[in-house]
Structure 1
């Protein structure tokens, strides 16, 4: 009885018995190929994850500056400093506090950041 190695299991399962559903497989063959499968799945998943994340980052890059600027303007509309955005960096509670802060109604009068857009009644360009 010969011992089955990692390479033997990979070779047998990927070539000789690729679609063979009859017969038997020893524990070593099964577990070594299970390890091959987990490693291959991890590599493919990792490549796809890195590629998608990179692609996602590249696609979102042009929108970062406008998103930051509109967030600061929104905070100014509520009478808060744009630095208040940094609250979102606090784990767990920060993003919730940030989102709640973004839902607060505008200051109805002129504040330190200018007149109320609601009071002006038109879009400021």
Structure 2
């Protein structure tokens, strides 16, 4: 849950880098919350004509900006510009390319977008221990 809250707190942080764990934990928790809200919408009868629920739609709008920001930072971690997100416009192939990018390790050490977040997390864990 800490990774999810970290993304929400940095909702307008389009610069820097995001670890795979930060990105995928945000995606996982968002997916689960959207599912729970969809079930609540069905129970309460708050579905609109297209089948989407009111609560799930509101949640989707609220996490749109943080989701884009963490996606930008994830691409930065793999030393790619956020312009690569435009490949999303190509159905299926573009989506698969972005999926592969999100699954790759980040570049070790500093890159043009900032310091290695994995190294920063490891150094703070050593200090706390």
| TM-score range relative to shorter protein | 0.5 to 0.7
How many matched pairs? 76
* 1:96 matches 2:90: no
Please list every run of at least 4 consecutive aligned residues from structure 1 whose deviation after the TM superposition is greater than 6 angstroms: none
Q: Which deviations, in whole Å up to 9, do the C-alpha atoms of 1:8-57 show, x marking residues without a partner?
A: xxxxxxxxxxxxxxxxxxxxxxxxxxxxxxxxxxxxxxxx5635336232
Residue 19 of structure 2 is matched in structure 1 by: none
Aligned position for 1:61: 61
Structure 2 CA distance for partners of 1:95 and 1:49, relative to 1, 3 Å? farther
Three-state SS of the structure 2 residue aligned to 1:50 is: coil
After superposition, the CA RMSD in angstroms is: 2.1
Change (3 A) 1:114 1:92: same
The offset of 1:84, in angstroms, is: 1.1
Shift of 1:118: 1.4
Of structures 1 and 2, the one with the larger relative CO (CA 8 A, separation 6+) is 2
Q: Superposed, which structure 2 residues align to 1:1-125 within 5 Å?
A: 50=49, 52-53=51-52, 55=54, 56-120=56-120, 121=122, 122=124
What is the TM-score of this pair, normalised by structure 2? 0.52
Gapped regions of structure 1 (runs ≥ 5): 1-47
CA distance in 2, matches of 1:57, 1:99: 24
* Bigger Cα Rg: 1
Structure 1 length-normalised TM: 0.54
Secondary structure of 1:97's counterpart equals helix
C-alpha distance in structure 1 between counterparts of 2:78 and 2:104, whole Å: 7
